[in-house]
A and B are shown apart, each in its own frame.
Chain A
Amino acid sequence: MPEWNLEIRKHLAGLHLRPEREEEIVEELSDHLQQRYEEFRARGANDDAALREVMGEIYWRDFVPELQILERTPWPDSEPQGAPASGRFFDDLWKDLRYALRMLRKSPGFTAVAVLTLALGIGANTAVFTVVDSLILNPLPVEKISTLAAVNTTLAKKTAQSGDLQAISYLNLKEIRERTHSFGRLAGHSYPMAVTMTDKDQPRRVFAEIVTANYFETLGIHPFLGRFFLPTEDTTPGVAPVAVLGYTAWQNRFGADLGVLGRTIRLNETAFTIVGIGPKGFKGVYAVFGPDLWVPSMMAEQVLPAEQRNALSDRALPLFTGIGRLEPGVTLAQARAELKITGAALEKEDPNVNEGKVLAITPLIEAAYGRERQPVVFGGFLLMAIVGFVLLIACSNVANLLLARASVRRQEIAVRMALGAGRQRLIRQLLTESVLLGLSSGVLGFAFGYAGCRILESLRPAEYAQNLADLRLNTPVFVFAFAIAILTGLIFGIVPALRSSRVSVSEVLKEETRSPGRSRSRVTLANALLAGQVAVSLVLLVVAGLFLRSIEHEYIIDPGFQTKHLALFMLYPGQAGYDRVRTEQFYKQELDRIGRIPGIDSVSWASNLPLWGRQETGIAVEGQEARKKSEAISAVVDTVDLNYFSTMGIPLVEGRDFSENDRDIATPVAIINDTMAAKYWPDQDALGKRFQLPQGRAFLQVVGVAKTTNYQTLGEPPQACIYVPLRQNYTDSMILYLRSERDPSTVLSAVQEEIHSFDPGLPVEDIRTGAKVIDQALWWSKIGVGLLGVFGFLALGLASVGLYGIMAYSVNQRRREIGVRMALGANQGNVSLLVLRQGMTVVGIGVVVGMTLALLLGRVLSRFLYGVSGSDPVSLGAASLALLVVAFVACYVPARRASRVDPLVALRES
């Protein structure tokens, strides 16, 4: 019996029928043919003749198109009349999805390239959005952040910016709480303070915030475990040593031990009981840096350094930032007006402390960053824009791939239109395909984004990683990635879908060959997309280059002190329970003993960390007291020990260094910097002049003038600074500074041993070298530049893959033409040049456009750059060169292939 089934299947294959349907038709037809065959045999024909007769009757050429038309028309009665439109919609959607899946599976190469390209773009967007969401959009996991405001003091004088916000003393905070009605609740919290936590005899440096008992309630958060502070625990100083652990600290420092509640830990030698664990993700209200634990305000004395011990009773000692929950219906402006009155009353009642100061109210979301807000927001949105462009490049790449594929699928689409598929329906089907592609890329992209966030988190400086904000991949991020995946699918799918569905049915069906054609307009669109990609990549590369150059300049900024041979040890003898006598002895003894360690040049103590100087306001210059308090002088104040200037490598321009003789009983002295000298004693000798520090103690006499250095940020404008001698200004939180002969890392362990031999109970955790100090100061910028670089190269990579793809495709399309040219005498060089010229013209246009855009953007960026102009020729040149080289390679490979076309083969092919 002849193999009817095989013969029939062969002809039906092109129709892509549903398998069940195909099976039915095959069965029915083969039965028919078999009967016909038997009929011929019965009439006496032999096997071969019968077979020929049957086959001759079939007319596949008529049968297949007829069947195709039939099978593609829907069954009119398959659905009841008046079925709801939505039913049809989902039915169609389901069909489209299955069809789309089949189409994608049929070309795995295309699918893989497209998904990977898009996933990279979506991943970059997800990662950056997570950063923006965690740091800017939703930095604090508190209830209704819009009704929360921070209350600070600031100087009445109009120079005050948000950066000059100062804390409020405990007594003032209490007054404000009692006198204002705008806030339903008003709490206070301190900055995170370094304290020594001893758990099972292991001293560790952690950060604690002193908060009023209603702090957590005001924020509207709930403990993960246990409870927060009771009002009764915050009424009498020193009676309720309780602490709430942060979730991260509980996870990392206590191994998430559920038995931690009720446990006793020592903070600065006072035993505290852990009563609760804060909610997951909450690390205080500073978006960037948060505490490990909280203690009630009445325990302030136990955790504060010696000079701040009377924080609860001294109105001049600022400690708290107020956090207020606005009463329903009260606006920020109303609260501000009320605070103005309260502030004025406080100023009147206690002019000594409050004169010249006003109360400032800031929405909490803004206060969460303080002065860092502007660069963080700027950086976040710049990165957002950049990854947006990377995604656009990815989209246009995939759009180009789809356009190329569309020309292959013209036949398919024409047939479907001939069979009555409406244009709308077709566009919908094509879009389903691209959205499906977008969604699959979204899944992979989300994974990329997750990995990216983990990498970013791992780049946080290890010492503070636990206190820095976490990147939260939460519902908004997920929604974002999902939305962007669908949007992406629509963006890159819409143009190809519109174009493919605009085919002329009769034209296409008449085309004899199934070889794809590529019309002129198609090429133009692809080229425009390519030029756009080149332009955008160039802009991104230039931006990355500009910031790289900027940070390069920042690294070579001279901070004014030596960093190469510098090492710092954070030691808190006061927190180990030392009294004043023991602490002073410790300072003196270590200065002496560490100074004798071989390889160490010089040792000193200072209260400030480099680049973490704190400003004090209200300095009074003798003879200039008439000045209104609102014009108070502010300066960075640093308490330092002997040899500080030689250890730091800061030259003294006038006068002398502190000496052994500058003791308690001697005349109070100070060394100021040349900025302060020039500002307050212009055209005079500052030596011998006198001034008073804000806390209103004795007049200090200037004995020396040191050169100005950077105190708060690298490359800052010069600011006034006052150094006072440790031996006249006792504090128990000094930092050990040393200058080594060679690389400081060579002496670190010797110093640690020395300190350990003095007292094993002193934590020596936080050690920094000068290079690390600079590194940390530039950490944000470095991460930003790193990201810019990664995204710039990602864009370049994607653009060059796109360029290569289109060039290779176009060479393949033009094989015949190239063959003809070569047959007519063009040599390999001519052909390569032809293709190269085609590609590099597009690149050239892209570079010109990109350069123009980069120059425009450079103007906007210039105020965020340090030491580089927005039109820096090095950045522009290097970026263009990198781009041209990569683009050249992407064009050269296909060009070379074109030159290898064998005219004989190429001409025979068609």
Chain B
Amino acid sequence: MGTKVEEEWKKGSADLLILSLLEDQQRHGYEIAKLIEVRSGGALHFHVASLYPSLYRLEKRGWIQGRWVEKANQRRRRYYRLTAEGQRVLGLQRKKWQEFAGAVGRVAGVQHA
């Protein structure tokens, strides 16, 4: 587990991360956690306690939608996909994040990657 500050940042960015990962295809919870870990090069970890409450919240807001899918030789799993509203929010959040990160970067003197 990271420091307190990292925790807060992680929370703040969780929505954006999840929505982004669901943009092109539907995925289940474990897959999302795995992808975040892999694509962040192991810098970000989302486990049960941080991932699922976020998923349920996004679902309640109507940005993503989960449904049970049964596949051969496999337990049924709950797959989440982006809704139209979620698509709109994702665009908005990306823009906001960009502005925010840029602003923080300029102030803190960090070169944008």
User: Which residues of A are in contact with B by a Cβ distance under 8 Å?
Assistant: 24-25, 27-29, 31-33, 35-36, 57-60, 62-63, 66-67, 70-71, 73, 75-77
Contacts and interface: CB of A to CB of B under 8 A. Distances in A.
Nearest to B59: A75
A113 to B, nearest CB: 41
Contacts of A25: 52
B61 interface: yes
Nearest to B31: A35
Given A31-B30, A32-B30, A63 B60 contact: no
B88 interface: no
B50 interface: yes
17 contacts: A25-B52, A28-B78, A31-B29, A32-B30, A32-B48, A33-B48, A35-B30, A57-B45, A59-B49, A59-B50, A62-B50, A63-B48, A70-B56, A70-B57, A70-B60, A73-B60, A75-B60
Contact of B49 (A63, A76, A77): A63
B49 to A, nearest CB: 4
The contact size tier of chain B is: 20 to 34
Nearest to A35: B30
Interface in B29-59: 29-30, 33, 45, 47-50, 52-53, 56-57
Contacts of B77: 28, 31
Interface of B: 28-30, 33, 45, 47-50, 52-53, 56-57, 60-62, 75-78
A25 to B, nearest CB: 8
Given A70-B56, A76-B61, A31 B49 contact: no
Contacts of A24: 78
A60 B75 contact: no
Contact of B52 (A36, A57, A63, A77): A63
Contacts of B50: 59, 62
Top 6 A-B residue pairs of the complex, sorted by shortest distance between their CB atoms: A63-B49, A59-B49, A66-B53, A62-B49, A57-B47, A35-B30
Contacts of A73: 60
Contacts of B33: 32
B53 A67 contact: yes
B47 A58 contact: yes
Contacts of A60: 49
B30 A36 contact: yes
Given A28-B78, A31-B77, A76-B60, A66 B30 contact: no
B29 A76 contact: no
A67 B76 CA distance: 22
A876 B29 CA distance: 77
B111 to A, nearest CB: 33
Given A75-B60, A76-B61, A76-B62, A28 B47 contact: no
A515 to B, nearest CB: 28
A319 to B, nearest CB: 85
Nearest to A21: B56
A66 B49 contact: yes
From B49, B56, B60, name the one whose CB has the most chain A CB atoms within 10 angstroms.
B49
Nearest to A57: B47
B98 to A, nearest CB: 28
A800 to B, nearest CB: 52
A61 to B, nearest CB: 8
Contacts of B49: 58-60, 62-63, 66
A394 B23 CA distance: 63
B75 to A, nearest CB: 6
Nearest to A36: B30
B52 A28 contact: yes
A75 B62 CA distance: 9
A62 B50 CA distance: 8
Contact of B47 (A59, A70, A71): A59
Contacts of B57: 70
A57 B60 contact: no
Given A76-B62, A77-B62, 5 more contacts: A28-B77, A32-B52, A35-B30, A58-B48, A58-B49
A640 B28 CA distance: 109
Given A57-B48, A58-B48, A63-B49, A28 B62 contact: no
Nearest to A65: B53
Nearest to B45: A57
Contacts of A62: 49-50
A71 B47 CA distance: 19
From A25, A33, A63, A73, name the one whose CB has the most chain B CB atoms within 10 angstroms.
A63
B44 to A, nearest CB: 14
Contacts of B52: 25, 28-29, 32, 63, 67
Contacts of B75: 27, 31
A536 B45 CA distance: 68
Contacts of A32: 29-30, 33, 48, 52
Contact of A67 (B28, B47, B56): B56
B53 A63 contact: yes
Given A28-B29, A32-B33, A66-B53, A59 B60 contact: no
Contacts of B30: 31-32, 35-36
A36 B46 CA distance: 12
